A and B are shown apart, each in its own frame.
Chain A
């Protein structure tokens, strides 16, 4: 069961990573004219449409991660400790705290992405999106590395 949950958690995190990356790129490097190539089209998405999906994905992924965490604490974490993988261990510890702080950003993130967007809040909107993207990227990479060290189902 744990293996299925870890895979589901990874897939949800992957969807979240895609959505938040699209959004952060489109707000920090928007395309003004018609999108010509792949990179331009990547930057040209309607970023406001992603906000609700990102909030739902963040909550579901975090809730699933919080449940799996109990198993990680008594299995995979011991592998990291006994193998002296301190950098990966530390990165995973920071991941937990980043995810917890990211939860607190969601009400403000939702508020500043409400339609119609208020131009006066543009800087806050961009900063909150960038911070959330940083959290999601760190969490994804730290989780992926920890999983690679431990191995799935071992």
Chain B
């Protein structure tokens, strides 16, 4: 009786361990995909000016997508972040739901390589400020 209990608890321990590893692999796929997709989409959103929303700080005005404020400057930064975060979040959830093999095979270096490329592209895009 006691032996079977011990066996049972070991079995459930193993099961918990397995499911922990599985969810960890899934989160790995999410995290790598999120970093890579976000960085790429952020560059595209910035260079094409595709904010999810715009903000006019002088008048406290929020508008959907790319709209100039009725007075003063318009800020798109929050909107670019939202565009990228939502797209990357969706891509991350899709990556999580793919078979476990995908998570295992996904090269973890994408999590920093794509952001490095996006940063280099952004610096190139704004390079004009340094040659003024």
Give A contacts to B, CB under 8 Å.
66, 69-71, 73-74, 77, 84, 86-87, 89-91, 93-94, 96-98, 100-101, 103-105, 107-108, 110-112, 121, 123-124, 127-128, 131
Contact = CB atoms under 8 A, between A and B. Distances in A.
B129 A90 contact: yes
Given A91-B129, A105-B115, 8 more contacts: A73-B73, A100-B81, A101-B119, A107-B35, A108-B31, A108-B35, A123-B109, A124-B108
A141 to B, nearest CB: 15
A73 B57 contact: yes
Interface of B: 27-28, 30-32, 34-35, 38-39, 42, 46, 55, 57-58, 72-73, 75, 77-78, 80-81, 84-85, 88, 108-109, 111-112, 115-116, 118-119, 122-123, 126, 128-130, 132
Nearest to B75: A73
A105 B57 CA distance: 28
Given A73-B75, A127-B109, A104 B115 contact: yes
A93 to B, nearest CB: 6
A94 B58 contact: no
Nearest to A110: B31
A108 B32 contact: yes
Given A98-B119, A124-B108, A124-B109, A111 B31 contact: yes
B112 A104 contact: no
27 contacts: A70-B75, A73-B57, A73-B73, A73-B75, A74-B58, A86-B129, A86-B130, A86-B132, A93-B126, A97-B122, A98-B119, A100-B42, A100-B84, A101-B39, A101-B42, A101-B118, A101-B119, A103-B81, A104-B115, A105-B111, A105-B115, A107-B31, A107-B34, A121-B108, A123-B109, A124-B111, A131-B115
Contacts of B88: 104
Contact of B77 (A86, A100, A123, A128): A100
Interface SS, A side: helix
A104 B57 contact: no
